[in-house]
Amino acid sequence: MVVSKVKKNGKKIVCFFGICLFLVLILIAILFFLNKKKEETLRYNKIEEIKSHYAKIVILNKDANIYKLEGDEYIECGKISKDQVISLDEMNSINYTDEYLKTNYFEKEYYIYYKDVEKWNELVEYSQRYKNYIPYNENVVSKNPVSFYSESGELLFQLNESIDKPIIVRGENKYGIEYMNKLLYINIDDVEKTYNHENTTEENTNGIAVLNYHFFYDEEVEGDAVKCNQIICLSTDNLKKHLDYVKDNNIFTPTMKELEMYIDGYIRLPKSVVLTIDDGWRMQIGVDLLEEYQLNATVFLITSWWKEIDFLNKYKYVEYHSHGDNLHNQGVCPGGQGGAIKCLKKEKLLNDLSASREKLDNTTVFCYPFYEYNNYSIEVLKEAGFTMAFGGNNEEGRYKVSPGINKYKLPRYVIYNNTTVNNIASYIG
Q: Are 61 and 117 in contact (CB under 8 A)?
A: yes
Q: Which domain holds residue 187?
A: 130-196
Residues 372, 342 contacting (CB under 8 angstroms): yes
Picking from 196, 222, 240, the residue at the C-terminal end of a domain is 196
Q: What is the DSSP letter of 69?
A: E
Q: Does residue 18 form part of some domain?
A: no
- Whichever domain contains 92, its CATH number is 2.30.30
CB 299 within 8 A of CB 283: yes
Judge whether 47 lies within some domain. Answer: no
Q: Which pTM does this prediction carry?
A: 0.87
Question: Rounded to a whole number, what is the distance in angstroms from the first to the last CA of the chain?
Answer: 130
- Shared domain for 275 and 416, answered yes or no, is yes
39 domain residue, yes or no: no
Task: Give domain status of residue 17, yes or no.
Answer: no
> Is 183 among the domain residues?
yes
**CA of 199: how far to CAs of 41, 116, 202, in Å?**
57, 38, 9
Question: Is residue 34 assigned to a domain?
Answer: no
Pairwise CA distance, residues 117 & 103, whole Å: 11
- How would you write the pLDDT of the chain (429 residues) with one tens digit per residue? 555 655 566 666 777 777 777 777 777 776 666 566 666 767 888 888 999 999 999 999 999 999 999 999 999 999 999 999 999 999 888 887 889 999 999 999 999 999 999 999 998 888 999 999 999 999 999 999 999 999 999 999 999 999 999 999 999 899 999 999 999 999 999 999 999 999 999 999 989 999 999 999 998 888 888 888 899 999 999 999 999 999 999 999 999 999 999 999 999 999 999 999 999 889 999 999 999 999 999 999 999 987 666 656 688 999 999 999 999 988 889 988 888 999 999 999 999 999 999 999 999 999 999 999 999 999 999 999 999 999 987 545 567 999 999 999 999 999 999 999 999 999 898
Residue 300's CATH number: 3.20.20.370
Enumerate helices (H) and strands (E) in the chain, giving the number of each. 8, 25
CATH of the domain at 159: 2.30.30.40
> 93 with 158, same domain?
no
Q: How far apart are CA 112 and CA 100, in angstroms?
A: 5
Q: Is residue 416 part of a domain?
A: yes
Same domain, 90 and 138: no
d(CA 127, CA 131): 9
Query: Could you give the dihedral angle defined by the CA atoms of residues 53, 54, 60 and 63, in that order, rounded to the nearest 10 degrees?
Result: 70
C-alpha–C-alpha distance, residues 242 and 244, integer Å? 5
Contact 94, 48 (CB under 8 A): no
**CB 326, CB 345: distance < 8 Å:** no
Let me know whether 285 and 417 are in one domain.
yes
Q: Are residues 214 and 347 in the same domain?
A: yes
Residue 344 and residue 233 in one domain? yes
User: How many separate domains does the chain show?
Assistant: 3
Residues facing 365 on adjacent strands: 388
Do 275 and 326 lie in a common domain?
yes
Closest by CA position to 273, among listed 291, 292, 293, 297: 297
Q: What is the DSSP string of 203-217?
A: PPPS-EEEEEE-EEE
